[in-house]
Chain A
């Protein structure tokens, strides 16, 4: 199978992450910001899986039965678990917010100042 340099995955991840940040910065819709955060999480996941693969391949040459790299993939799994829980609660908060102020514009959420 074709070997891909790890750098490609790093740059992909960095690009996705930056796009997520730009999204968080430019948008005022709370839901879109939330989605951009998910995008950033996924960028990190890609990177974790890529590194897991890299380490696994390096160990694989010496030992066909190695399990090096499993932890990173499990980590990604747990990130997804936490993200799912987070989304549930986050969306519930946004719904309640909308119910109270009839908007999801974060510029109305400036009560932190007080």
Chain B
């Protein structure tokens, strides 16, 4: 078994296991950490597909920035296992059943592709920063610039939402 295939199966198993742990950990902090593991595994997949730029961005943006943000928020709220609310048994069963049904249906719908020649591997160099950057700053420069406006407005929104208003009281209807 070639190394890349071993890596593929390892990363897949890691991603799925970590994802399950995200859902089933009682402690929110553990969930965050397992999610970071998922992102690492996915970045590994990106590297296997020679999409180096996305792999790095995934790590920096998701695993680095976003998940740290999550951690901060959770710690700010001082959450732990005890405070974790639990759903009713009935809701859990319903959720499991519908999730299972969705998986079943999607797999059943897509399994007929098994013999197709569609494939993927690490060849090709479009995933490199140089190639992506060229396209991004020529054909997609307008969306790119607009996304900066999106960030700006998100930032302003976060600040406005997060600011504690003077003499504001908890709203209880």
A–B direct touch in complex (beta carbons closer than 8 A): yes
User: Which residues does A use to contact B, with CB under 8 Å?
Assistant: 1-12, 14-23, 25-29, 31-32, 34-36, 38-39, 42, 45-46, 49-50, 52-54, 56-57, 60, 67-71, 73-74, 76-78, 80-89, 91-96, 98-105, 107, 111, 114
Chain B 154-168, CB-CB to A under 8 Å as 1, else 0, gives: 110111011010000
Decide: B70 and A35 in contact? CB cutoff 8 A: yes
Contact, CB under 8 Å: A85 / B161: no
- Take A77-B132, A91-B70 as given contacts and tell me if A84 and B120 are in contact as well, using a CB distance cutoff of 8 Å: no
A91 to B28, CA, bound (A): 14
What are the residues of chain B within 8 A of A16 when measuring CB–CB? 15-16, 19, 38
Residue interface mask B47-75, A partner, CB < 8 A = 1: 01111011001100110011001100110
Cβ of B49 and Cβ of A50 under 8 Å apart? yes
Residues of B within 8 A of A (CB): 2, 4-5, 8, 12, 15-16, 19-20, 22-23, 28, 31-32, 35, 38-39, 42, 45-46, 48-51, 53-54, 57-58, 61-62, 65-66, 69-70, 73-74, 76-77, 79, 84-87, 91-92, 94-96, 98-100, 102-103, 106-107, 110-111, 113-114, 116, 118-124, 126-127, 131-132, 135-136, 140, 143, 147, 150-151, 153-155, 157-159, 161-162, 164, 170-171, 173
Min CB–CB distance B125 → chain A (angstroms): 9
Note all chain A residues with C-beta closer than 8 A to B157.
Answer: 88-89, 92
- Determine whether the beta carbon of B66 is less than 8 Å from that of A53: no
- Shortest CB distance B107–A (Å): 6
* Cα–Cα distance between A93 and B159 once the two chains are bound (Å): 10
